[in-house]
Amino acid sequence: MAPSAVLFDMDGVLIRSEEAWLRVLEDAGRRFRGSPVTREEFAPTFGQGTAEDVRVFGLRCTPAELDAFYLEHLPAYAGEVWINPDARVLLEALAARGLRRAVVTNTVSALARTLLGAAQLLDFFEVLACADLVAHAKPAPDLVLYALGRLGLPAGEALMVGDSRFDRGAAQAAGVRFVGLGLEGDARIERLGELLPLLPLTRGPASPGAR
């Protein structure tokens, strides 16, 4: 079945904010365990949820306290966020084809809106499925199922684009086809712009986004 919607992971797909997150986690480590989180610790964990950050990095705080810290401190590093040059063109093309669009991210809502707004991509999305809206972050299926529920679509009418094992696990658990960006999945692409040839040509125009 041709998809009616495309779900996107945010970080690593639409934008890339690893350096900004590393900086804020260095700060969080100093605050909550007495030593900065190192690049070696951070690299294999990027994309996990806040509860896992607390556990994996041994931070002496609750996930809610860490989210509050992120909200306060991450904007200071927003200048280090890279915007995928393929993202805007792709999203415009999806809107023109009538395909609906959602973001599925382990980032909390306020930060996701800040980062996507700064990248001038926020208005392309009907739904933001963010970590503070569900019980379990990716790789659990909760965020994908939340997005599908808000879109009013079954799993078979969507596909998800992601770049991590967390994205792939969430999509698979929700029964959604997965396109890996530099990662194996039901299909694999190396650049975001390669997604368009995999999709149907027309479904009729849709509005850029309505939340």
Q: Give the residue numbers marked as catalytic.
A: 9
CA distances from 55 to 87, 181, 183 (A): 33, 27, 26
C-alpha–C-alpha distance, residues 110 and 75, integer Å:
11
Q: Residue 126 corresponds to which tokens in the numbers above?
A: 């009907």
**176 neighbors 144 (Cβ within 8 angstroms):** yes
CA dihedral 65, 71, 76, 82 (to 10 degrees): 120
Residues 6+ apart with CB under 8 A from 79: none
